Every structure is written in structure tokens, then in C-alpha cells.
Amino acid sequence: MDIDKKYDNYDFPLTAAEPQDGHAGHLSQQQIAQVHQLRLMLEAEGYTDRLDTLTLLRFLRARKWDVMLSKAMFVDTEKWRKETKLDETVPIWDYPEKAEVAKYYKQFYHKTDKDGRPIYIETLGGIDLTAMYKITTADRMLTNLAVEYERLTDPRLPACSRKVGKLLETCCTVMDLKGVTLTKVPSVYSYVRQASVISQNYYPERLGKLFLINAPWGFSTVWSVVKGWLDPVTVKKIHILGSGYQTELMKHVSPESLPVEFGGTCRCDGGCENSDAGPWHDPEWARPAWWEKKADEKTIQNSGSQIETPKDAPSAEAALVAEKAKDETSVEAKQTTAA
């Protein structure tokens, strides 16, 4: 691929680990030209941030190399970043309620899979929005999700790339469905729906592999229908596993990289969900992230259990209604766009 000296300031390997079409180091002349075309179009509209080649390639792949659709996706992402003040939030973000939220919903990065990708783990069975909204708010949960995506982009993936000597741009996700019942589906869905909008619309091409473990009875039947709606490329990344998932999962993740509660052997001090263990903390591979360079002495201090739900925050019931309304609006907007 062509390196643009103005935007491509990389300090990690730039050849994709796998020789996939449309990925860094494996581009056609036409694809290189499409990167230049997309960048010129965005510059013409005044965009100057995140115009590096790897970012533009992700948006182009996400929209099947349709430059106009890729541009629209990029512009929507930049609009969202501006509305949420994400660039200002990331350097000072603090989430002291994490330990309390984790009693109902764990989300954490932990070490790497056998390909060197960061492992991301979620547990969905304990989600209780009524209880969680007494601890935090839906907006803070979604902001934390976005911040973690930023930290996946930098410093996690660059550190992993340096360690394996190849470019890594995706993560390995383990989603535990144990405890997800029919009565919990509506509340689980309402949050996951919002979270998926952030991941699909604003952080494309970040999923390497997804393992759904402890899938409940009947889930395979539902999946056989759902996968017909998805892109075949995405479907190949998703693995549905029941309670006997360990054998298959261990083909991709070493026991020492997996927390003991998921069948591995790792027992980090203070809990694996709190350790953030990985190459991104190893001095040999880690480098300061952009947001660490931008952070200053005004970084918010961790206030522990002093966190309170804001007075003007909606009640749990109101939040649920609002979330459902957002979902319906999102669906209608997509149908209108498709039409």
C-alpha cells in the first residue's frame, strides 16, 4: 500500500497477518486508488483527522469498496464523535462504577488469542437494567464502550502487532450467554442493540472471531434464521457453542490466556476482569497512546463507590422505554435509507 507521509505515522508492522484481499500489504492498484479518492473527497469537505490509510481501508472494506458509501459512513462517524465529544472524553475518562456494574454485566479485555489478537469478554446472563441504572446510566455505559474501542485501536492493537511482527486490526470476542433466559431477552436486547450500533457503524472491521458460549437450548435454531440476514464474511467469524465449548474454544485461545471461570487457567490478582493484562502493558511492546499524550493533570480521579446516578437521569423504566424508542427510530431510519 502507499504510505501518506501527512497522515500515516505508524510505529508498528503494516503487513496484514493473513494475505486477505483489501488488507494492508495485499492491495490492488484499484484499491490503492480508491483510498486516495476517498481521502481527497474527505479533505475537500474539511476533514483532517483519522485520514490515515488503515482507517480508510477499514471503511472501504465495510462498504464493499463503494467510495461514496464509505465516505457517508466516515462522515456519520465523525459527526457522532463530535456530538459525543469523544476525542475530549477519552483522555480523561474514568469509570469508577465498573466493579459494581460488573456484578451484572462484565466487559473486559484480557490477554490474547493464539493469533495474537486481544481477547474481549462479555457476560450477558446477569444483565439487570433496573439494578444497573441505580449504579450508572445508559449513556455512561455506552460512553465506556466507545472509550474501550478507542483503547483497542490504541494502544492494544499496535502493541499486539509489534509482538507478533504483523499487522493485527481485529479482536477475538468471547460472549457468554449463560443465564440468558426468555424473560431477560427484552432487556438484554435493548442494550445490546444500542451497543451494536456503535460497533457496526463507527468501528467497522474490528471483529476477528466471535465465540458465543453457553448458548441456550434453541439458540441454534434462531441462529440458522438470523445468519441468513448477515454478510457471509461476518457469518464465518461467528461460532455458536453450547455448554461444552471448551474444546473448540481452546483451539483458538490458550488456557493461560483464558480466565479460570471460562475453563482456562488464568487467575489474575484482583480478578481477570480488572487486570487488563496484555502486551499493551509490556514495556517491550507498549507505546503511549494518542489519548495518553493528550491527557493532562486534569485527568479525573477515581472516586470509587461515591458515584451516584445523576438527579436528572431517567428512571430504569423510563430508560427502557427510551431505549426501545431509539431502537424503533433506528430501524425506521435504516428502512428509509434502504428504500
Q: Give domain status of residue 203, yes or no.
A: yes
Q: Are residues 79 and 101 in the same domain?
A: no
pLDDT of 266: 98
**What average pLDDT does range 25-49 have in this prediction?**
97
Number of domains the chain contains:
2
And the C-alpha cell for 96? Answer: 469508577
- Residue 213: predicted pLDDT: 95
Q: Examine residue 328 and state whether it is found in any structural domain, yes or no.
A: no
pLDDT at 308 over 70: no
Residues 155 and 25 grouped into a single domain: no
Could you tell me the CATH number of the domain that includes residue 79? Answer: 1.10.8.20
- Is residue 299 predicted with pLDDT exceeding 60? no
Query: What is the C-alpha to C-alpha distance for residues 119 and 173, in angstroms, rounded to an integer?
Result: 6
Q: How far is CA 164 from the centre of its chain?
A: 21
- Asked whether the beta carbons of 265 and 256 are under 8 A apart, the reply is yes
Q: Do 119 and 74 belong to one domain?
A: no
pLDDT average, residue stretch 276-287: 97
Segment 43-49 mean pLDDT: 97
Q: How far apart are CA 245 and CA 230, in angstroms?
A: 23
Rounded distance between C-alpha atoms, residue 224 and residue 98, angstroms: 35
What pTM, to 2 d.p., does this model score? Answer: 0.83
> What is the grid cell recorded at 94?
474514568
227 pLDDT band, cuts 50/70/90, is confident
> Would you state the pLDDT for residue 87?
96
Q: What are phi and psi of 197, to 5 degrees?
A: -60, -45
Write the pLDDT tens digit of every residue in 231-265: 788 888 999 999 999 999 999 999 999 999 999 99
Q: What is the mean pLDDT of the chain?
A: 86
Assigned domain for 73 exists:
yes
Helix (H, G, I), strand (E, B) or coil at 212: strand
Q: What is the DSSP string of 78-109?
A: HHHHHHHTHHHHGGG---TTHHHHTTT--EEE
- Read off the pLDDT of each residue in 140-159 and give the average, rounded to a whole number: 96
Q: Does residue 299 form part of some domain?
A: no
Q: E-assigned strands of the chain? A: 107-112, 118-123, 171-176, 207-213, 238-240
Based on the domain organization, do 161 and 211 belong to the same domain? yes
Q: Is the pLDDT of residue 325 over 70?
A: no
What local confidence, expressed as pLDDT, does residue 184 receive? 65
Q: What is the pLDDT averaged over residues 267-294?
A: 94
Structural domain includes residue 324? no
How far is C-alpha 298 from the chain's CA centre? 27
> For residue 305, what pLDDT is reported?
34
List pLDDT tens digits, range 172-208: 999 999 987 766 666 667 777 788 889 989 999 999 9
Residue 63 has pLDDT above 80, yes or no: yes
Q: What one-character DSSP code corresponds to residue 167?
A: B
Same domain? For 2 and 151 the reply is: no
315 vs 7, more confident: 7
The most confident of the ranges 83-92, 222-231, 306-315 is 83-92
Structural domain of 105:
96-288
Is the domain of 282 the same as that of 204?
A: yes
Same domain, yes or no, for 3 and 79?
yes
pLDDT-based confidence at residue 65 (cuts at 50, 70, 90)? very high
pLDDT at 298 over 70: no
Percent of the chain at pLDDT > 90 equals 67
Contact 177, 125 (CB under 8 A): yes
Asked whether residue 6 is domain-assigned, the answer is yes
Last residue of a domain, one of 60, 84, 108: 84
Given a cut of 70, whether residue 103 has pLDDT beyond it is yes
> What is the arithmetic mean of pLDDT over 81-103?
96
| pLDDT reported for residue 183 | 65
Q: Which of the two residues, 286 and 297, has the higher pLDDT score?
A: 286
Q: What is the pLDDT of residue 220?
A: 73
